[in-house]
Structure 1
Amino acid sequence: MARWLIALSWPALKAQWGRQLLALLAIALGVALAFGVQLLNSSALAEFGAAQRSLAGTPDLLLRGSDGRPLDEALLERLMQEPQVQQAAPVIEGQVQVLMEERFNLRLLGLDALQTAQFNPALLPQAFDKGQALQSLLAPDALFLNEAALRRLPSPRPLSVRLRLVGEDGRARDVELRLAGSVAAPGAPLAVLDIAAAQALFDRLGRLDRIELRLQPGVQAQDLTLPEGSIAAAPRDEEDQMARLTRAYRVNLGVLSLMALFTGGFLVFAVISLSVAQRLPQLALLGVLGMSARERMRLVLTEAALLGLLGSGLGLALGAGLAALGLRLLGGDLGSGLLGGPLGGNGPALRLDPWQMLLFGGLGLAVSLLSALLPALAVRRMAVAQVLKGLGTELQPRLPRGLAPALLLAGVLLALLPPFGGVPLAAYLAMLCLLMGGIAAMPGLVRLLTRLLPGRRSAGLMLLRERARDQAGAATQMLAGVLVALALSVAMLVMVHSFRASLQDWLRQMLPADLYLRSSLQSKGNTAPLAPDFIEAVRASGLAQDLAPQRSRRAWTVDQTELSLLARAIRDENRLPLVGPLAEPPAPGLMPIYINEAMRDQQALRPGARLALSLSPGSAAPPTLQFFVRGVWRDYSRQSGALLMSLADYQRWSGDTRITELSLWLAPGTDLVQAQARLRALAADPADLELAATGELLALSLRLFDRSFAVTYWLQAVALGLGLFGIAASLSAQLLARKREFGLLRHLGFTQAQLLRLLVLETGLFTAAGALAGLALGLGVSAVLVWVVNPQSFHWSMELSLPSARLAALLLAVVAASLLTAWASFAKAGRVDAVQAVREDW
């Protein structure tokens, strides 16, 4: 076998190096995109997880107040006396804003430095002045910043940092602290302060936000007697939470990136088929001389394996480079914002995983071998004697007649199945079945289109009809790659257009006012409340013809699921972006709420259901209350649970009258720019306000949307380009295989121009069939994406919307490119010597 490989494979690869290089690049691009996207997202997620683990430390339990209030500082001493407790570390946490040339928000932790060294060395302050290290640790004005925060400061580094924080009443005040050193904690901007100084800073003297506990060896959480008014829980694994949050985006992007590899497989199939077509007489002669059928098959598969190995190796290297570039420029989420984008301007570090490299390298090799399997089987079963006589060159087997309907039906049935583990695996299999069913249906579609051709009034049309009837299987080989790429491109175009159109409609419903404002400050991880005197000043200014306040905060279900709560005046519930009908009005005493689709799916709720909610985690006493689910609303801003309720109901329930956002309808004739300037003048500090007009919010949202989906257009372009290259390779293979046929036609009187017209018309017929099939398949796959994948992955429903002009342009471009390819291929390889071709046929 080795001598056959040496004698045949290497010369064949050298003789067809251009086409083999094209196949190699197809595998390389497919592996690079798939591996790059996976590496990019896994690196960013690993960076996020490392940062969260660094901040979380190693406590066994976190002790908090059961009603959401701070803990009494006296509990710390009591816990230290408990025999089950080995260590206890107090923590104060808050949000501040750094008032420098560039303002930015900062998470501030008040810690006991001696305890922090035991729980979390990454948060141990390191003084700039080593000689004053101990004094700095306990100084009430000493501030320690991590690397991300230090990079945001102006150069040269200032000696002090001015901070702005918001009190419980929504009023802001400024403090100035000395920049004494740094902490090693990675991730977002963070500051550490001595706990006593933090208590004074946030007006929490004698109180603690939480206490971190490390238990004695062998002690379980249930063995600890908790102080009254407190709850204990294991540290929440933020890395797992972020992995769950971003899983749908990462899986969908990964599946999309495999589109290029899937399409590249058809190009490899075309190139291997071309290679086999060129060497059929040679292989048949060697078969007569003693080369067995198994050795012929092994020869073809070995060449495919070589292509797969070289292409996968190149693809892994290219994918690593693309991932490194993407991490620096876009972050680990390719601009979606789910993982926060680049950290500190440099992005997460690239993390190469040998197992991932082995997986995607093996995937490229497997695709190459599977693509060569049909040509290899055809070479194995060919009748060598007939091939030497010029017969038996049609080696591809006919597909079973019922295969196409069976695959299409399987695709429809799979699309009806629920997700598995939150991932729409059945929907992905449904799309694969639809694509394979479309490929299997191509011969029948080509034969159907030939019936629409005029009658036998010319020899060329007669030949075209007969060839399309007898050789329709060649259409499958020629158009398989472009059919898949076109179908997926149509599907992505329709899905993205539908999503964008639905997003625009949703934004218009959710943003009915002229102007929106909120504080740029933060409090306890949320937007800080607006000062009451500022709200009254806005009311009295006469700028707003109407004004709608909103309160945004968090709430919890009885099973401790965290939710986003939006409380605002609901003047007409029918103007909300509702999904489905409303439930009947609730019974007296029940407050109605409107839940988003994520909450409906995660909590298995429907309109008319009842739900208990609390404003504090772990609270089993008031303000826990029963609510009535009045309806479900569409929410494109979250993948997690959220609820909307009347502001008046919220204030009666909670007693909280603070406001976090204002929506303003300006008086007629009011200049928008002047109104924004006057509103800023009403604030204590104009920089504390974030103002945006409806048009600005719409434009910003759509820019973020387009940025998130920009990568999909590049992936579509690569896959479509590979599909068109596949047409070129298949046409070349057919021209080589049909040289004797063309020579005979020349001998019978056909001119070169007539042969060219025949080939172009034949290609046009096949491509038209492929375009129609690609359009139909694309619309079917887009229906699965819009109505199945998006609701199951992101809990977002949307209306199907067709970009007719872009679809028509795409189809025309594919047909035109195919016809141009046919003309160029014939001009290069279609000129034959009639006498020589007929002599060979004898």
Structure 2
Amino acid sequence: MRNLLVRSSLRHLGRHPWLTALSLLGIALGVAVVVSIDLASGSALRAFERSTDAVAGRATHQLVGGTSGLSEAVYRDLRLRQDAPVAAPVVEGYVQAAVGDRRTLTVLGVDPFMESPFRAYAGGEAVGDVSALLTESGAVLLSERAARALGVRAGERLPVRVEGREVSLRIAALLAPADEDTARALEALVLTDVSTAQEVLGRMGRLTRVDLRLTEEQAEALRSTLPEGVEVVRSSARANTVEQMTRAFRTNLTALSLLALVVGMFLIYNTMTFSVVQRRGLLGRLRAVGITRNELFALVLGEALVLGVVGTVAGLLLGILLGRGLVGLITQTINDLYFVVSVRGLALEPFTLAKGLALGLGATVLAALVPAWEAARSAPATTLRRSTLEDVSRTRAPRLALLGVAVLAVGVGLLSWSTPALFPAYVGLFAVLLGAALLVPWVTERLSLYAALPLGLSFGLLGRMAARGVRTSLSRTAVALAALMVAVATTVGVGLMVSSFRGTVLSWLETSLQADVFISPPSLVARRGGATMVPGLAEKLRATPGIAGSSTLRVALVRADEIPTDLIAVDFSQSPARPYRFKEGGDEAAVWRELDASEDSLVVSEPFAFHRRVKVGDTVRLSTDRGPHDFKVAGVYFDYGSDVGTMLMPRATYDRWFDDRGVSGVALYAAPGQDVDALVNIVRAQAGDEQALLVRPNRSLRQSSMEVFDRTFTITQVLRLLAIGVAFVGVLSALMSLQLERSREFAVLRAMGLTPGQLWGLVSLQTGLLGLLAGLFSMPLGVGLAYILVHVINQRSFGWTLRLAVTSETLGQAMLLALVASALAGLYPAWRMARANPALALREE
């Protein structure tokens, strides 16, 4: 009997290849989106971790200094100690190759004689003259993979750019690591000796850090004897910081990708329900001849599992292909926002693939539980009646609506919960989606009833039949509507969130970018201007003729409460404006007076205050060149340039606590009557050939900032399109199954004289009504999702205060999208039904 049921199930799936294929496609797309996002973001982070591990080697601790690193004297004194630990000096920085794929490379300057306890590859197998590292200035080692990608060979020159300067390196030898992990880690590494790295990076006499191998007791003993401004930190701290920095970014991507899987679940539910409905006669006869409820339950669930396995495996393969395309977008976003990372391939992690498999199968089984339960619980006589399911659906609709209201209340409660945790917010978001979906059957039944009159007046009998058809097929149409509603609402919500974010950022840029011309060296991370000008150049630029005022800023990476954070030092001594708006701290003039009068005060950005749980009056401990020092928070300012937070202090305060005298940027204010474009040309002439600089007028800098913003949201737009794709497949599947199920009804209408054209019109009117209802449902839900994303998810993820802007254009696009999606999805079913032979459709089995 079991074999008979299995053959019956497989035969049924085989007789409906299009519906089966659409179901598989829906599952595959849902799984593919989740897997691809995980693989792409995971690959980017693992690439950074691999390069970090390769650079850190087997060091347990590190000696670090302030913003300008360590003096070479620190390492020398350490080596002369009687209890000198195993130590190696390191100079590290980034350059950009000027040939090949122009990848970003990590320069690692080491002492070859001290490297063996830390990095085995530094003295490993190489092809070429390794000794040139010690005898020739500018000599470096590259991995064979990096050399191939850059199109260079051993003995040739490698031009690179660093902070606007072009430097020529000579490839003395090529490293050929024996194992694959090391080879991947070295793909973006330039290995050289300490002195060459100092020369290339412009850090003469300075070290980035000193690597150590210590026990925790030795580290504690060493701390008490270190000079002012030098600290011992664990080597693992860097990787942990990166994980914290990108956690919210990756969580948001994962949540958006799960939306596609949720829409895919509607499709699976739709398919399995249709499978049960279409075979209700057969299932009733099987029950009548002795098949048990458990056997029927297992039959339907087994079908779903077969679909789930095939669709999930296809989704894993599709996710790998999609991940290869998305990894570039995610890598670019990480480079724009957080840190420099070079990703050359997709890392296939077994855990990610296993998670995708579990999600696909779990979603399929979960979606099939209700249809399987319906098939098993119905009495044979009830199952044999055609109208049973629709009667049950209409009877159940009010109860589902009440449940939906309860679920919505739970979701609103979770979203209102004043906790910084993201998990309750996402549970609340999905509860809102589920609650809205549960309301769809009852609202659809009511609206379709009311729509019969206007449709009848406009289109006559066909209009009334279309409206009643939606109502009498509620078990089918409600699922299709819910899938399309969730997808369109997601589009509306994410679209409004992005446009609101964009409007807020644009307004912030107009307020904060008040200078007419901005000058800075090129930076490898778009939102971090850490590169510095050559000494003396900033003063020369500030003396440019035709300006009424100027200001400078220095962006430095310092450790705030042990976490590396951007610190901005501003010099407004010659500036007519101070373009910062404060969220907390009172009057802006009072905040600046306090900053100017104090030597240990600073202000922090809104994301910094949110993530670190600090407010005005609290203190933040910074690792300065004079040692750790507590700075009072005088205010919290609005800032949308960094989601991890920044700090700001006057340049005079910065110079008091740090030895760094670098300048990262200069802002110039044009004198009255001075043409800004002419001033740009004057500045470029004033700078000469000392250093390649970005000299941009105000409008150009705003434009480039918005380009970075738009680039960071490209991945979000891709996810929106994929979710819509999954929903479109779901609507097409629902409409196909709906029309196929009604084939006998349409055959009767054809036999009574309905022409193919009229039948086409009937089906088109019905799909148009479905699209209209989906659009109406999606607009309030989309606005609600936008509110949640802007005021809850973004606030808890990054701490930003955004202004939600609901535009009629976005709502109109949502309605158009719903109508077009339903119209396109109804084309094939309408064409097929219009061409069907009434005599064949009327035959009984």
Q: 2:135 aligns with which of 139, 149, 162?
A: 139
Displacement of 1:309 in angstroms is 0.5
Displacement of 1:388 in angstroms is 3.5
Distance 1:515 1:707 in 2: 24
Distance 2:170 2:10 in 1: 72
Displacement of 1:8 in angstroms is 0.9
Q: For residues 6-53 of structure 1, what are the alpha-carbon distances to aligned partners after superposition, in whole Å with 9 as ceiling and x for unaligned?
A: 431121111101110111011111111211111111122112111101
The corresponding residue for 1:597 is 606
Q: 1:580 to 1:829 in 2, by over 3 A?
A: farther
Does 1:27 pair with 2:19?
Answer: no
Q: For residues 335-377 of structure 1, what are the alpha-carbon distances to aligned partners after superposition, in whole Å with 9 as ceiling and x for unaligned?
A: 764576773xxx3333222232222112111222222222222
Does 1:629 pair with 2:631?
Answer: no
The corresponding residue for 2:113 is 114
Displacement of 1:517 in angstroms is 0.6
Displacement of 1:492 in angstroms is 1.2
Do the aligned partners of 1:530 and 1:660 also contact (CA within 8 Å) in 2?
Answer: yes
Distance 2:498 2:619 in 1: 35
Distance 1:534 1:11 in 2: 79
The corresponding residue for 2:442 is 444
Does 1:553 pair with 2:551?
Answer: no
DSSP-derived class of the 1:62 partner: strand
Displacement of 1:196 in angstroms is 6.3
Quote the sequence identity (%).
28
Q: 1:526 to 1:57 in 2, by over 3 A?
A: farther
Q: 1:821 to 1:555 in 2, by over 3 A?
A: closer
Q: 1:377 to 1:687 in 2, by over 3 A?
A: same
Q: 1:814 to 1:207 in 2, by over 3 A?
A: closer
Q: 2:173 aligns with which of 174, 181, 202?
A: 181
1:742-753 alignment, distance < 5 Å: none
Q: For residues 714-765 of structure 1, what are the alpha-carbon distances to aligned partners after superposition, in whole Å with 9 as ceiling and x for unaligned?
A: 3323322332333333334334444565567778887777766665555544
Q: For residues 286-332 of structure 1, what are the alpha-carbon distances to aligned partners after superposition, in whole Å with 9 as ceiling and x for unaligned?
A: 222232222222221111111110111111112122223444x4464
Distance 1:301 1:244 in 2: 41
Distance 1:214 1:719 in 2: 50
DSSP-derived class of the 2:23 partner: helix
Displacement of 1:406 in angstroms is 0.8
DSSP-derived class of the 2:345 partner: coil
TM-score of the two chains, using structure 1 as the length reference: 0.85
The corresponding residue for 2:308 is 308
DSSP-derived class of the 1:541 partner: coil
Give the aligned length: 817
Displacement of 1:140 in angstroms is 5.8
Please say which of residues 351-360 and 57-66 is displaced more in the overlay: 57-66
Please say which of residues 86-95 and 3-12 is displaced more in the overlay: 86-95
Please say which of residues 818-827 and 241-250 is displaced more in the overlay: 818-827
Distance 2:385 2:293 in 1: 18
Q: 1:357 aligns with which of 353, 357, 367?
A: 353
Do the aligned partners of 1:45 and 1:339 also contact (CA within 8 Å) in 2?
Answer: no
Residue 632 of structure 2 aligns to which amino acid in structure 1?
F
The corresponding residue for 2:410 is 410
Q: 1:221 to 1:529 in 2, by over 3 A?
A: closer
1:119-518 alignment, distance < 5 Å: 119-124=118-123, 129-130=128-129, 133=130, 135-139=131-135, 141=137, 143-147=139-143, 155=152, 179-182=171-174, 186=185, 190-195=189-194, 210-215=209-214, 220-224=218-222, 226-229=224-227, 230-327=230-327, 329-330=328-329, 332=331, 337-338=336-337, 343=342, 347-388=343-384, 390-394=386-390, 396=393, 398-399=396-397, 400=399, 401-418=401-418, 424-449=422-447, 450-451=449-450, 454=453, 472=474, 474-518=476-520
Distance 2:776 2:530 in 1: 52
Does 1:611 pair with 2:619?
Answer: yes
Displacement of 1:126 in angstroms is 6.6
Q: 1:807 to 1:309 in 2, by over 3 A?
A: same
Q: 1:334 to 1:278 in 2, by over 3 A?
A: farther
Distance 1:201 1:392 in 2: 79
Displacement of 1:415 in angstroms is 1.1
Do the aligned partners of 1:297 and 1:380 also contact (CA within 8 Å) in 2?
Answer: yes
Do the aligned partners of 1:44 and 1:333 also contact (CA within 8 Å) in 2?
Answer: no
Q: For residues 97-122 of structure 1, what are the alpha-carbon distances to aligned partners after superposition, in whole Å with 9 as ceiling and x for unaligned?
A: 88999999875544321210121123
Q: 1:268 to 1:616 in 2, by over 3 A?
A: same
Distance 2:531 2:333 in 1: 30
Do the aligned partners of 1:442 and 1:770 also contact (CA within 8 Å) in 2?
Answer: no
Distance 1:204 1:261 in 2: 51
DSSP-derived class of the 1:688 partner: coil
Distance 1:644 1:744 in 2: 77
1:684-723 alignment, distance < 5 Å: 685=689, 687-723=691-727
Q: 1:78 to 1:157 in 2, by over 3 A?
A: closer
Displacement of 1:594 in angstroms is 2.9
Q: 1:296 to 1:434 in 2, by over 3 A?
A: same
Residue 681 of structure 1 aligns to which amino acid in structure 2?
A
Please say which of residues 282-291 and 59-68 is displaced more in the overlay: 59-68
Displacement of 1:629 in angstroms is 1.9
Displacement of 1:471 in angstroms is 6.1
Q: 1:289 to 1:689 in 2, by over 3 A?
A: same
Residue 612 of structure 2 aligns to which amino acid in structure 1?
Q
Residue 232 of structure 1 aligns to which amino acid in structure 2?
V
Distance 1:548 1:304 in 2: 66
Distance 1:284 1:402 in 2: 31
Distance 1:381 1:442 in 2: 24
Q: 1:119 to 1:152 in 2, by over 3 A?
A: same
DSSP-derived class of the 1:287 partner: helix
Displacement of 1:231 in angstroms is 3.2
Distance 2:101 2:344 in 1: 23
Q: 1:300 to 1:687 in 2, by over 3 A?
A: same
Displacement of 1:174 in angstroms is 9.8
Residue 116 of structure 1 aligns to which amino acid in structure 2?
E
Q: What value does the CA root-mean-square deviation take over the aligned residues?
A: 4.2
Q: 1:514 to 1:39 in 2, by over 3 A?
A: same
The corresponding residue for 2:811 is 807
Displacement of 1:596 in angstroms is 0.7
* Structure 2 unmatched ranges of 5 or more: none
Distance 1:196 1:342 in 2: 25
Q: 1:146 to 1:243 in 2, by over 3 A?
A: farther
TM-score of the two chains, using structure 2 as the length reference: 0.84
Does 1:777 pair with 2:775?
Answer: no
Do the aligned partners of 2:492 and 2:783 also contact (CA within 8 Å) in 1?
Answer: yes
Residue 180 of structure 1 aligns to which amino acid in structure 2?
A
Q: 1:664 aligns with which of 651, 663, 668?
A: 668
Residue 356 of structure 2 aligns to which amino acid in structure 1?
F
Please say which of residues 672-681 and 825-834 is displaced more in the overlay: 825-834
Q: For residues 86-139 of structure 1, what are the alpha-carbon distances to aligned partners after superposition, in whole Å with 9 as ceiling and x for unaligned?
A: 523234556788899999987554432121012112333876545xx5x53532
Residue 443 of structure 2 aligns to which amino acid in structure 1?
L
Displacement of 1:389 in angstroms is 5.2
Displacement of 1:72 in angstroms is 3.7
Q: 1:15 to 1:467 in 2, by over 3 A?
A: closer
Do the aligned partners of 2:276 and 2:371 also contact (CA within 8 Å) in 1?
Answer: yes
DSSP-derived class of the 1:564 partner: strand
Do the aligned partners of 1:440 and 1:476 also contact (CA within 8 Å) in 2?
Answer: no
DSSP-derived class of the 1:352 partner: coil
The corresponding residue for 1:828 is 832
DSSP-derived class of the 1:212 partner: strand
Do the aligned partners of 1:680 and 1:686 also contact (CA within 8 Å) in 2?
Answer: no
Q: For residues 810-829 of structure 1, what are the alpha-carbon distances to aligned partners after superposition, in whole Å with 9 as ceiling and x for unaligned?
A: 31231244256456534523
